[in-house]
């Protein structure tokens, strides 16, 4: 008999305000709604407690960081326990004075912290000055064990790197999960460029699903943040892809709670006929550890 393991996943897509307490209230409300809808897992957007402060380099931005565990994880844990869902949260972690991370925290159904992932790839682009704030992660690409399976949690800029998704797959991840905060600059990106960027963002992650035969779940925020000089319009379009890259659910550009059912047993079935992991030429991949092959 086939092994059928259906997981209902919820992706919370919403705008974040300048008030952390308000944003945390919004996150908790989405967790409650997801639990009422029968979800097993809820994914929140990247850095959901705060506005996207990385649009500028400002020492005052570090005041937004918080310890893990701390007040936010305590409240999110209580919400996870009440709703009976696994929560993937995304916080600005204060590890020590002068040492901060962009950290995803996984809270299991019983409210315990199942694990954390510190963002490994840190961008430094106009209006995305993350290298100023975040130390690169030091926990590696290690899936997090939960009551609903092994979660390969990565964060935003990590989504452009096939190596990260592959290493999570090789370590036994059953789902690839990406909390994100990505958008357009309307002053410089015309409609055609916006369409290309969105297609690229979804396309590279669809490739991760196909190449690793794993479902992929990505969240994004929506709304406009910043000022006239640093304005980002977060494009939303959170999605759930199946293990062949098929679209199981996709949001638009406004706030919503996206829901999809995933059959995680399909990975085993598909890998028997598309054995990508079996046929990898690991004896010929040594050059991948070089920055560039001159």
Tell whether 294 is covered by a domain: no
Indicate which residue of 46, 66, 174, 225 is catalytic.
46
Please name which of 291, 269, 219, 278 lies closest in space to residue 14, comparing C-alpha atoms: 219
Q: Are 128 and 156 in contact (CB under 8 A)?
A: no
Is position 54 annotated as part of the catalytic site? no
Indicate which residue of 16, 93, 130, 156 is catalytic.
156
Indicate which residue of 66, 93, 119, 225 is catalytic.
119
* CATH number for position 243: 3.60.110.10
pLDDT at 1 over 70: no
Structurally, the chain folds into a number of domains equal to 1
Is position 46 annotated as part of the catalytic site? yes
Question: pLDDT at position 3, please?
Answer: 52
Tell whether 216 is covered by a domain: yes
**Residue given tokens 């305590």 in the structure block:** 74
Tell whether 1 is covered by a domain: no
Position 2 confidence tier, pLDDT thresholds 50, 70, 90: very low
Tell whether 33 is covered by a domain: yes
Domain hosting 78: range is 6-289
% of the chain residues with pLDDT over 90: 95
Digit-coded pLDDT (tens) for 110-127: 999 999 999 999 999 999
Digit-coded pLDDT (tens) for 222-261: 999 988 788 999 999 999 999 999 999 999 999 999 999 9
pLDDT at 94 over 80: yes
Tell whether 61 is covered by a domain: yes
Question: What's the mean pLDDT in 168-189?
Answer: 96
Q: pTM score, two decimals?
A: 0.96
Tell whether 281 is covered by a domain: yes
Tell whether 36 is covered by a domain: yes
Tell whether 277 is covered by a domain: yes
Is position 19 annotated as part of the catalytic site? no
């Amino acid at each position: 008999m086939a092994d059928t393991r259906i997981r209902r996943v919820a992706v919370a897509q919403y705008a974040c305000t300048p008030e952390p307490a308000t944003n945390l209230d919004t996150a908790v409300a989405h967790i409650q709604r997801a639990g009422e809808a029968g979800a097993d897992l809820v994914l929140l957007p990247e850095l959901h407690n705060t506005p996207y402060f990385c649009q500028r380099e400002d020492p005052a931005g570090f005041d937004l960081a918080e310890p893990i565990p701390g007040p936010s994880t305590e409240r999110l844990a209580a919400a996870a326990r009440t709703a009976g869902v696994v929560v993937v949260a995304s916080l600005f972690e204060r590890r020590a004075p002068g040492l901060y991370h962009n950290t995803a925290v996984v809270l299991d159904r019983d409210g315990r912290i199942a694990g954390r992932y510190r963002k490994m790839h840190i961008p430094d682009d106009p209006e995305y000055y993350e290298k100023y704030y975040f130390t690169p992660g030091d926990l590696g690409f290690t899936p997090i064990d939960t009551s609903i399976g092994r979660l390969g949690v990565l964060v935003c800029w990590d989504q452009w790197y096939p190596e990260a998704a592959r290493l999570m797959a090789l370590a036994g991840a059953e789902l690839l999960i990406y909390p994100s905060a990505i958008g357009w600059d309307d002053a410089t990106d015309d409609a055609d460029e916006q369409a290309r960027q969105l297609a690229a963002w979804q396309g590279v992650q669809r490739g991760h699903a196909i190449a690793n035969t794993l479902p992929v779940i990505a969240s994004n925020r929506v709304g406009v943040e910043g000022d006239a000089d640093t304005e980002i319009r977060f494009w939303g379009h959170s999605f759930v892809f199946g293990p062949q890259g098929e679209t199981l659910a996709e949001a638009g550009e406004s706030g919503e709670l996206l829901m999809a059912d995933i059959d995680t047993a399909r990975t085993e079935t598909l890998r028997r006929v598309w054995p990508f992991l079996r046929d990898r030429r690991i004896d010929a991949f040594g050059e991948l550890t070089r920055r560039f092959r001159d």
